Chain A
Amino acid sequence: MQKYSIFSLIKNAFSDHKKWDLAWKDPAPKKEYDVVIIGGGGHGLATAYYLAKEHKITNVAVIEKGWIGGGNIGRNTTIIRSNFMYDDNARFNEFGMNLWRNMSQELNFNVMFSPRGIINLAHSDAQMNAYARRGNSMRLNGIDAVLLNREEVKKIIPMADFSDDVRYPIFGGLAQPSAGTARHDAVAWGYARQSDSMGVDIIQNCEVTGFDVSGGKITGVRTSRGDIKTKKIGLCVAGSTNVLAEKLNMTLPIETHLLQACVSEPVKPVLDGVVTFGAGHFYISQSDKGEMVMGGDLDGYNSYAQKGNLPTIQHVLTGGVALFPFLSRLKMLRTWGGIMDMSMDGSPIIDKTHIDGLYLNCGWCYGGFKSVPSSGWTFAHTIAQDRVHELNEGFSLNRFSKGYLLDEKGLGTKTWIS
Chain B
Amino acid sequence: MLNIKCPYCGDRSQKEFAYGGDGTITRPKLNQEISDEEWDNFVYLRKSPRGKHIELWHHIAGCRQWFKVERDTTTHEIFKTFKPEEEF
Contacts and interface: CB of A to CB of B under 8 A. Distances in A.
B46 A253 contact: yes
Interface string B1-19: 1100000000000110011
A240, A252, A304: most-surrounded residue (chain B CB, <10 A)? A304
A311 B49 contact: no
B31 interface: no
Contact of A242 (B19, B43, B48): B48
Given A309-B1, A310-B1, A416 B48 contact: no
A343 to B, nearest CB: 9
Contacts of A305: 73-76
B21 A255 contact: yes
Contacts of A302: 21-22, 48, 53, 55, 73
Given A302-B55, A305-B74, A416-B19, A401 B44 contact: yes
Interface string B39-58: 11101111111100101001
Contacts of B45: 251-253, 400
A311 B15 contact: yes
A312 B66 CA distance: 22
Interface in A241-258: 242-243, 246, 251-256
A298 to B, nearest CB: 10
A256 B21 CA distance: 11
Contacts of B19: 300-301, 415-416
B5 to A, nearest CB: 15
Interface in A271-307: 300-305
Interface in A219-275: 240, 242-243, 246, 251-256
* Residue among B18, B39, B48, B76 having the largest count of chain A Cβ atoms under 10 Å: B48
Q: How large is the interface on B (under 10, 10 to 19, 20 to 34, 35 or more residues)?
A: 20 to 34
Given A246-B47, A311-B14, A414-B21, A303 B76 contact: yes
B20 interface: yes
Contacts of B43: 344, 400
B73 A303 contact: yes
A246 B18 contact: no
Contact of A301 (B37, B49, B55): B55
Interface string B66-87: 0000010111100000000000
Interface size grouping (class) on chain A: 20 to 34
Interface string A394-414: 000000110000000000011
B33 interface: no
B53 to A, nearest CB: 6
A236 to B, nearest CB: 18
Contact of B73 (A252, A304, A311, A344): A304
Nearest to B35: A401
B87 to A, nearest CB: 22
Given A251-B45, A304-B74, A416-B58, A256 B50 contact: yes
Nearest to A414: B21
A256 B15 CA distance: 21
A246 B49 contact: yes
Contact of A255 (B40, B46, B71, B76): B46
Given A302-B55, A311-B14, A251 B47 contact: yes
Contact of B44 (A300, A310, A344): A344
Given A256-B73, A303-B73, A414-B21, A309 B14 contact: yes
B1 A311 contact: yes
A340 to B, nearest CB: 11
A401 B37 contact: yes
20 contacts: A240-B50, A242-B48, A242-B49, A243-B49, A251-B41, A251-B47, A253-B46, A256-B73, A301-B55, A301-B71, A303-B73, A303-B74, A304-B74, A309-B76, A310-B1, A311-B14, A344-B44, A400-B43, A400-B45, A401-B39
Interface of B: 1-2, 14-15, 18-22, 36-37, 39-41, 43-50, 53, 55, 58, 71, 73-76
Interface of A: 240, 242-243, 246, 251-256, 300-305, 309-311, 344, 400-401, 413-416
Q: What 9 A-B pairs come out closest when comparing CB atoms?
A: A253-B44, A401-B40, A242-B48, A400-B44, A301-B19, A251-B45, A255-B48, A304-B50, A416-B18
Given A251-B41, A254-B48, A416-B18, 14 more contacts: A242-B47, A243-B50, A255-B46, A256-B48, A301-B19, A301-B71, A302-B53, A302-B73, A303-B76, A309-B2, A309-B14, A309-B76, A400-B45, A401-B44
